[in-house]
Chains A and B, each alone.
Chain A
Amino acid sequence: MELYDGPLDTKEIFGRWLDEQADSNYGAYIPFVGTIRAEGDIEALSFDIYEPVLQKWFDAWQEKAKALGAVVKMAHAKGDVPVHTSSYISAVFSPRRRVALELIDEFVEDFKANAPIWKYDVKNGERIYAADRSTPMDGSGLLA
């Protein structure tokens, strides 16, 4: 898991991941890139991350992938990420494509639902919490 201040250098990261696994004999490598779209007059999106819980979430996914003979990778941005740049990338390596295709789907969807990351629109230099696009994590409402 890699965290960066500001936008991701997607080509460097994907290239490095590919090099790292060059001799691992995986038959499939499926990358996913999340790019900030220009919408609603935003200049950028901005992110807060709670790293200790994110690391545990990611470690659990690594274990799940390992049991399938696969590897998951991810990188995410902290702070402001301008439109048309990347805030999130992930990838799955696996011996065969079917496992990789299914795993990238589950991994990205669970990431959206349970990774402790908070998103803000940046408009006129102000951060506004993206409440309407955010999802309560599993187990929410315990203290209500």
Chain B
Amino acid sequence: MIKVEFLGPIGKEPMEIEAVTLADVSAKLKEDSTLTNWLDKCAVALNDTMVNDLSTALKDGDRVSILPPVCGG
């Protein structure tokens, strides 16, 4: 199982899902209608490192963070 957490204003409880790659996470999250307006604007971190490749392999216990648009300062 991997954990998916939703940061900042998304306001959604973390989920635990089965996934072998980030593409699996994508497929799972696309099924959730509450995320429809977020996914195209969100960046992704794996265990707190930013990632850019859907083929990134996942292992049991990994933590995927979904980061919506930012505005610091």
A interface residues, Cβ below 8 angstroms from B = 34, 47-50, 52-53, 56, 76, 87-88, 108, 111-120, 129-131, 133-144
Contact = CB atoms under 8 A, between A and B. Distances in A.
Interface residues on B, range: 20 to 34
Interface in B27-52: 29-30, 39-45, 48-52
A118 B40 contact: no
Given A112-B72, A137-B69, A129 B9 contact: yes
Nearest to A111: B72
Question: Which secondary structure characterizes the binding site on chain B?
Answer: mixed
Nearest to A128: B9
A119 B71 contact: yes
A108 B73 CA distance: 9
B8 A112 contact: no
A135 B68 CA distance: 8
Contacts, number: 115
A115 B70 contact: yes
Contacts of A137: 43, 50, 67, 69-70
A139 B52 contact: yes
B40 A140 contact: yes
Contacts of B73: 34, 76, 87-88, 108, 111-112, 117, 119
Residue in B30, B50, B73 with the greatest tally of chain A CB atoms within 10 Å: B73
Given A118-B9, A140-B40, A134 B45 contact: no
14 contacts: A48-B9, A50-B67, A53-B48, A53-B65, A56-B50, A112-B71, A115-B72, A116-B67, A118-B68, A119-B72, A137-B50, A138-B43, A139-B50, A140-B69
Interface string B1-16: 0000001110000000
